[in-house]
Chain A
């Protein structure tokens, strides 16, 4: 499922990618659906693509400036931690593997 901007790097753009392992595809898909509805602002100089392959959530950023990229990645990690904590506290099973990323 990992597609998107992998092969067509736009000229002058900064690219950043992150892979997050989950215990199973079930948790990875929950995280995907929780984290994808809020899009990056249009004309904000940044785009973000989320996808799931197996039990891995992959995120790819493409940004005009490092400053904008840092803000987006940092806030994504805050949100990801919150999703994982929520799964740990209110989900049916323990997510020890995923907890390592936070």
Chain B
């Protein structure tokens, strides 16, 4: 009976296109009811020893965004008319790249006559992680170049249980990579992870957990100085420093995640954000989870690293729950906390 009804009244599928460009990645992804139809992305890669500046990053995004958008539509085999909603990153992130991406999203939404939806970038990571891993109500560790937060859902908010009090863990890794001139291709964190595998000597670094929060700026200053002294005198190798830095900062992250789980009686951990594809972090988190009888959920680089589909997925949830963003309210914001968003799509 049901199949006959479906034949006569096919359930309409909702298609959302998502634009992401809050940092050095620019991505456009298309989601149709939980299915990723396309998710192309480009990364602005700077020479070793250099970070990415807002205006240069925005220039990169401007140069490629329309090509990436075209790819997303072609790969999905869709026409603009098939799209139901245009989602874009409202914040947090770098101002100039955010504006660039928002302008294209606003323009296509008007050209195609579709509603617009501004999405919190952190919520995008969480919802994409939940979609891909099927974790139902996990404690979330969100770790990237710009953010470090331990999050759990309660009463219509993703609440921040612990976070960095200065720089993000990924920023600490990226800046250490610059000091010892590690390549930024495909990402500094990936190259640190590979080098760390050959490290043999553990160099003791400050361990800075402050209650539920963490601090990384002191560790960075310390290891910068250690690198200058110890590498020139041959006391340790660059690989040893990569290894020691990873072990120290990941142990801190596992500690605060475990404490948040204890507070919430949670039996699931989900790791999201660019640093989340680091296999050593996943391994250490896995050991902690096993000891507690909990389950670890993680994704690979396609969905951990910033991408358009994650904005489409969070946008899909928001759109289904009745939200849209009027054009005049579609301004971007560099600061936009995870817990500012009312989660209208979960019980």
Contact = CB atoms under 8 A, between A and B. Distances in A.
* B and A form one assembly: yes
Interface string B106-135: 111011100000000000000000000000
Contacts, number: 63
B310 interface: no
A89 B100 contact: no
A37 B332 CA distance: 8
Interface in B309-337: 327-332
A82 B104 contact: yes
B341 interface: no
B108 A39 contact: no
Contact of B70 (A31, A37, A89): A89
A37 B62 CA distance: 18
Chain B interface SS verdict (over half): helix
Contact of B100 (A33, A82, A87, A90): A82
A86 B102 CA distance: 12
A82 B103 contact: yes
B62 A82 contact: yes
Contact of A37 (B59, B100, B112, B327): B327
Contacts of B62: 78, 82
B78 interface: no
A87 B107 contact: yes
Contact of B108 (A36, A78, A90): A90
Interface string A51-62: 000000000000
Given A37-B329, A79-B99, A90 B69 contact: yes
Sorting the interface of chain B by its residue count into under 10, 10 to 19, 20 to 34 or 35 or more gives 20 to 34
A73 interface: no
B108 A37 contact: no
Contacts of B58: 78
B80, B110, B327 interface centre (most CB from chain A within 10 Å): B110
A12 interface: no
A35 B104 CA distance: 10
Contacts of A36: 328
A90 B106 contact: no
Contacts of A64: none
B195 to A, nearest CB: 38
Interface string B233-246: 00000000000000
Give the 7 A-B residue pairs with the shortest CB-CB distance, closest first: A34-B106, A86-B107, A37-B331, A30-B110, A34-B107, A33-B327, A91-B111
Interface of B: 58-59, 62, 65-66, 69-70, 80, 96, 99-100, 102-104, 106-108, 110-112, 327-332
16 contacts: A30-B110, A33-B327, A33-B328, A37-B328, A37-B330, A38-B99, A75-B96, A78-B59, A79-B100, A82-B62, A82-B100, A85-B66, A90-B66, A90-B69, A90-B107, A92-B111
